[in-house]
Amino acid sequence: MKITGYRLEKYIQKLDRAIGDANYPAGDDLMGMAILWIDTDEGISGMAPAGNDAVESLFHVIEGKDPRGVVGLWKDMVDWVHKGNNEGEVNGAIAAIDVALWDLKAKLNDEPIWKTLGAREGRAKAYASDIGYNLSDDELHTFYSRMADVGVEGGKIKIGLNMKDDLRRIGIMRDAFSKVKGRPYLMIDTNEYWSPKQAIRYINEIEKHFELFWAEEPARRWDYDGLRQVARNISAAVASGENLNDIGQMYPLISQQAIDIANVGVGHSGITGARQVANMCYAYEIPVTMMNCPANFMAHLAAALPNHNMMEVVDPGRESAFDSWDNHIEDGWIVMGDKPGLGIEVSETKLKDLQATDHGRRPGFPFPRREGAALWIKDIEPGEVSWK
Amino acid sequence: MKITGYSTTLYEFPLNRRMGDANSPSGRIRGSSNLVQLFTDEGITGVAFGGGGAGPQIKSMVEGMLMGEDPRHVTGLWKRMVDRVFKGGHAGIVNDAISVLDVALWDLKAKANDEPLWKTLGGSNPKVKAYASGLDTPLSDDDIENWYGTMAADFGFTGGKLKVGLDQDDDLRRIERMKKGLERATDTPELYIDANEFWNPKQAIRKVREMEEQFDIAWVEEPARRWDFLGLRRISDAIKAPVCAGENLDTLGEFLPYFHNRSADVVQVSWGMTGITTAMQLADAAYGFELPITLGGSPGNLNAQLAPCMPNFLTLEVQNPDPDDGVMTSDIKIVDGWAVCGDQPGTGVSFDQEALEKATVESVSASAGPSPFGRRPGAGLWDNPATKEEADAAASGVDGFAYVPKHGSKTQ
């Protein structure tokens, strides 16, 4: 069996709602997306709900190879980009190819990826994540209540710009989940907006009011000294890592005990790379939490990891190009079915329609860094979000 | 697919050469193994070799944790077994049981896909670098040169590992003889040495530094005790060669002090560390720390199946290019110094039923086990070269099966 070709389709997805964080509280509801297919001489294709133009520069590395050798091909790609390194766009392309190859490998076995990876059960514990600094108090309540209704035991909220607003909003989140769990898991996320000392002051104040399970990205992604400093001065766990690209970049965070929980995701060079990071964390007794993604497809890997904690579920509506995806949330867990591969069915019709739609503007995501980050806190300005 | 039953079969066989190390210089000439089979409702059988001393633990694990389960869920089943023994930890014979069952499960998973294990694990290239390992303390100088010479000339090995530790002058001379043998394949052989935890750190530093005046040593294996992360680190800081260690550890968690203190420059991995599942976790962790992986000796060299999916794999230990027990068959071949995994589904390591029946024993004889003499007196304290009695036993070619050092001798 040989890899013969690929197809990359890019499109812009209008979300069900805007998403926003400390860097861009107003948020945006347009997101650039892509689907990658890897084709074989036996007519079976693997797909990934990801990809970018750098796939073209990498494809020759895997062309003609057996797709079942996905871990070896991952290494071949990483070795190929040695000088410029496995970063940025190239990293995104390697990740997308890797996911498509795992999809293909599982489809060849006629089983879901969670089974290919050896998981005993196709499920991963979920937590709710708003990515919703733009959401009003009512909208926040509705979102977390909807997640609580399917048994989710806690949530993460975007904060960082105004203590009074943040305390109120964390309270809304807690109240929504308290019907499921007496002490719900409460997480906060500031997306690298603070300096370490700002984080320590801010989080200590929040901890007078709430028990926090983790604080995410309280300092810059690479600042292992700063993250460690935060971790030593708050009661909550420090979680970080989602903006790093691979296990090599995670190395200082892990070996310097800078993080208490590792964010892992497809951005760590695909399923293969994310599994490496998780295993390295396992040696250090660091739990991992899977980052959100379209159709929650990384739950396949989460289900197979011995040290996976909870996976982020945002559900802003990134699945418009799909006819179906094989998971749902039940009793607080992402429960996957037995459909082969990722279990995602792409609709060619919907994809064409999405590509034909002109939104008249470019997607605002990913967000630029907000003014004042790690220097001073630039409060949300009147009118910047609907609720203020 | 469901697991429906299991069987274990102990067997013994004559070794094709006398084997020993610093702890047993007289060596042994018999070996033993244990065939574990996991049966399924689809007629596919998982095969693994090991856990000879863990019969009751295997029974309890299969009956309590594996019966009725789908073997393709091996990572989840591994977790189930490991969590089951939480309180005592997965160490010792419990770990032997989980390890061998994990291998049988991976064998089943690959067989269910009708593909070799290296492919199931995601490997793309079934060819892995290998070195020859003599377990050669009982061999004479001439036998050492001959054995490594044959490994070099007939199988293309360019690297060899000599057992050392009991007598510095002997060791210096014998490294030279191994080198001469390997020079039949290359001008620049990789010279590995292995002291099997016989030294204390300062002994190791003195001895290895002296060896390094004459030889470029490619690694020093187990130059101090397995848990002595401070001592291993000290040795590494004081010698040129990498310190290679870990083979007597059982779990990923036991490697944490090594990783955190950079105690080992080369990390030893094997299926015996709570199975193939942990071996792969370890390889990923070592990759994160930029540490190379070496895979230890294994039945039919099955560890070779793991190497293609390990991103920082260095080299595989080969004690015999082909199975030496007359029972086992292996689809892993040594070609030009590389181990090459074939296309046979599963681990590629299986057995001959007729030969198995002939070799089967009720229980393994005392000196046919993997390390029948235990740790040698003087280890970590003083030099304790082979006694005349031991040297004679080693040289005699008689059945080491009956050889036990006399009570009260220096070796007791």
Give the pLDDT confidence of A47-61 residue by residue, as tens digits.
Answer: 999 999 999 999 999
Residues of B in contact with A107 (CB under 8 A): none
Give the nearest partner residue to B288 out of A108, A117, A247, using CB atoms.
Answer: A247
Residue among A332, A268, A335 at smallest CA distance from A299:
A335
pLDDT at residue B320, rounded to an integer? 97
Judge: B280–A279 Cβ closer than 8 Å, yes or no: yes
Fold (topology level) of B3-115? Enolase-like; domain 1 (3.30.390)
**Over the stretch A54-90, which tens digit does the pLDDT of each residue have?**
999 999 999 999 999 999 999 999 999 999 899 999 9
Q: What angle do CA B47, B53, B57 make, to 5 degrees?
A: 75
Q: How confident is the model at residue B386 (pLDDT cuts 50, 70, 90)?
A: confident
Interface test with B, best of A111, A121, A276 (most B CBs within 10 A): A276
CA angle B132, B133, B135 (to 5 degrees): 155
Note the pLDDT of residue A373: 96
- Distance of residue B191 Cα from the nearest chain A Cα, in angstroms: 28
Q: Is A66 on the interface with B (CB under 8 A)?
A: yes
In whole angstroms, what is the distance from residue A287 CA to residue A55 CA? 32
Question: pLDDT at position B411, please?
Answer: 43
Phi-psi region of A302 (alpha: psi -120 to 50; beta: other; left: phi over 0): alpha
Q: What's the mean pLDDT in B267-290? A: 96
> To the nearest whole angstrom, how far is the Cα of B253 from the nearest Cα of chain A?
6
Question: Residue B111 above 80 pLDDT?
Answer: yes
Inter-chain CB proximity B122 and A76 less than 8 Å: no
- List the domain range (segments joined by +) for residue A17: 3-110
What are the distances in angstroms from CA B53 to CA B46, B56, B82, B89, B279?
19, 9, 18, 17, 21
- Beta bridge partners, B14, equal B30
Q: Do B75 and A304 touch (CB under 8 A)?
A: yes
Chain A nearest C-alpha distance from B51 (Å): 23
Q: Please tell me the predicted confidence (pLDDT) of residue B26.
A: 84
Residues A81 and A202 in one domain: no
Which distant-in-sequence residues (6+ apart) come within 8 Å of B219 by Cβ? B192, B193, B241, B242, B243, B244, B265, B266
Per-residue pLDDT of B191-211, as tens digits, reads 999 999 999 999 999 999 999
Strand order in the sheet with A45-48: A3-21, A24-40, A45-48
**pLDDT at position B405 over 60:** no
Pick the most confident of B87-91, B289-293, B390-394: B289-293
Domain assignment of residue A292, yes or no: yes
The CATH number for A157's domain is 3.20.20.120
Q: Which one of B75, B281, B288 has the shortest CB-CB distance to A254?
A: B288
Give pLDDT tens digits for B28-84. 888 999 999 999 999 999 999 999 999 999 999 999 999 999 999 999 999 999 999
- Any idea which of A322-331, B42-51, B248-257, B402-411 has the lowest mean pLDDT? B402-411
Tell me what pLDDT residue A365 has: 85
pLDDT at B73: 98
Q: Identify any residues that bridge with A333 across adjacent strands, giving them in sequence order.
A: A125, A330
Among chain B residues, the shortest Cα distance to A253 is held by B288
Handedness of CA B308, B314, B319, B320 (dihedral sign): positive
Of the candidates B73, B82, B115, the beta carbon closest to that of A118 is on B73
Q: Where are the domains of chain B?
A: 3-115, 118-351
Structural domain contains residue A367 = no
User: Which residues in chain B touch residue A111, judged by CB atoms under 8 angstroms apart?
Assistant: 72
Residue after which a domain boundary falls, among A110, A132, A155: A110
Q: How confident is the model at residue B407 (pLDDT cuts 50, 70, 90)?
A: very low
Q: What is the pLDDT of residues B289-347, one digit of tens each?
A: 999 999 999 999 999 999 999 999 999 999 999 999 999 999 999 999 999 999 999 99
Q: What is the mean pLDDT of chain B?
A: 93
CA B3 to chain centre: 28
A30, A15 Cβ separation under 8 angstroms: yes
What interface predicted TM-score (ipTM) does this complex get?
0.88
Tokens 């995602």 found at: A344
Is A284 at the interface with chain B, CB within 8 A?
yes
Give the pairing of strands B28-40 and B45-49: antiparallel
Q: Which of B98, B86, B88, B33 is nearest to B60 (CA)?
A: B98
Measured between CA atoms, the residue of chain B closest to residue A68 is: B122
Domain assignment present for residue A273? The answer is: yes
Residue A208 lies in a domain: yes
C-alpha dihedral, A286 to A289 to A290 to A292, nearest 10°: -150
Is B253 in Cβ contact with A285 (below 8 Å)? yes
Residue B79, chain A, CB below 8 Å: the answer is yes
Structure tokens at A198: 């700002």
State whether A332 and A252 are in the same domain.
yes
Residue A334 located in a structural domain: yes
Q: Does A73 touch chain B (CB under 8 A)?
A: yes
Residues A68 and A139 in one domain: no
Q: Do A69 and B109 touch (CB under 8 A)?
A: no
Q: Quick one: A93 and A134 in the same domain?
A: no
Q: What is the pLDDT confidence band of residue B388, given thresholds at 50, 70 and 90?
A: confident
State the pLDDT confidence band at B399, using cuts at 50, 70 and 90.
low
Total domains in chain A come to 2
User: CB contact, 8 Å: A117 with chain B?
Assistant: yes
User: Where among A52, A87, A110 does a domain terminate?
Assistant: A110
- Confirm or reject contact between B73 and chain A (CB < 8 A): yes
Chain B residue whose CA is closest to A303: B76
Task: Check whether residue A214 and residue A324 sit in a common domain.
Answer: yes
Which pTM was predicted?
Answer: 0.93
Q: Is the pLDDT of residue B410 over 70?
A: no
> Are A209 and A314 members of one domain?
yes
- Across the interface, do A72 and B308 touch by the CB < 8 Å criterion? yes
Q: What is the CATH number of the domain that holds A97?
A: 3.30.390.10
Please tell me the predicted confidence (pLDDT) of residue B391: 82
Contact B73 A119 (CB under 8 A): yes
Mean pLDDT along residues B86-98: 92
Residue pLDDT tens, chain A, 388 long: 999 999 999 999 999 999 999 999 999 999 999 999 999 999 999 999 999 999 999 999 999 999 999 999 999 999 999 998 999 999 999 999 999 999 999 999 999 999 999 999 999 999 999 999 999 999 999 999 999 999 999 999 999 999 999 999 999 999 999 999 999 999 999 999 999 999 999 999 999 999 999 999 999 999 999 999 999 999 999 999 999 999 999 999 999 999 999 999 999 999 999 999 999 999 999 999 999 999 999 999 999 999 999 999 999 999 999 999 999 999 999 999 999 999 999 999 999 999 999 999 999 888 899 999 999 999 999 999 999 9
- A377 occurs within a structural domain: no
Instruction: Write the CA distances from A160 to A206, A220, A370, integer angstroms.
Output: 11, 14, 11
Are residues A329 and A189 part of one domain? yes
In chain B, % of residues over pLDDT 70: 95
| The 3-state secondary structure of chain B, one letter per residue | CCEEEEEEEEEEEEEEEEEECCCCCCCEEEEEEEEEEEEECCCCEEEEECCCCCHHHHHHHHHHHHCCCCHHHHHHHHHHHHHHCCCCCCCHHHHHHHHHHHHHHHHHHHHHCCCEHHHHCCCCCCEEEEEEECCECCCCHHHHHHHHHHHHHHHCCCEEEEECCCCHHHHHHHHHHHHHHHCCCCCCCEEEEECCCCCCHHHHHHHHHHHHHHCCEEEEECCCCCCCHHHHHHHHHHCCCCEEECCCCCCCHHHHHHHHHCCCCEEEECCCCCHHHHHHHHHHHHHHCCCCEEECCCHHHHHHHCHHHCCCEEEEEECCCCCCCCCEEECEEEECCEEEECCCCECCEEECHHHHHHHECCCCCHHHCCCCCCCCCCCCCCCCCCCHHHHHHHHHCCCHHHCCCCCCCCCC
**Measured between CA atoms, how close is A366 to chain B, in angstroms?**
28
CA triple B343-B34-B224, angle to 5 deg: 95
Question: In this complex, do B73 and A251 lie within 8 Å of one another by their Cβ atoms?
Answer: no
Q: Phi and psi dihedrals of B317, rounded to 5?
A: -80, 130
> For an interface test with B, which of A62, A63, A66, A75 has the most B Cβ atoms less than 10 Å from its Cβ?
A75
The listed CATH number (3.90.1150.10, 1.10.3720.10, 3.20.20.120, 3.30.1280.10) that belongs to domain B118-351: 3.20.20.120
**Same domain, yes or no: A247 and A147:** yes
Q: Respond yes or no on whether the N-terminal peptide bond of residue A366 is cis (omega within 30° of 0).
A: yes
Give the separation between CA B42 and CA B61, rounded to whole angstroms: 21
Using alpha carbons, list the distances in angstroms from residue A277 to A155, A250, A284, A301, B284.
Answer: 24, 7, 11, 12, 7
pLDDT attached to residue B383: 87
What was the pLDDT predicted at B397?
60
For residue A168, which amino acid is it? R
Other Cβ atoms less than 10 A from the Cβ of B237: the count is 10
Judged by a CB distance cut-off of 8 A, whether residue A279 touches chain B is yes
A121/A230 same-domain check: yes
Q: Per the domain annotation, does A386 fall within a domain?
A: no
Q: Is residue A381 part of a domain?
A: no
CB contact A111 to B (< 8 Å):
yes
- The reply to whether A219 and A144 lie within a common domain is yes
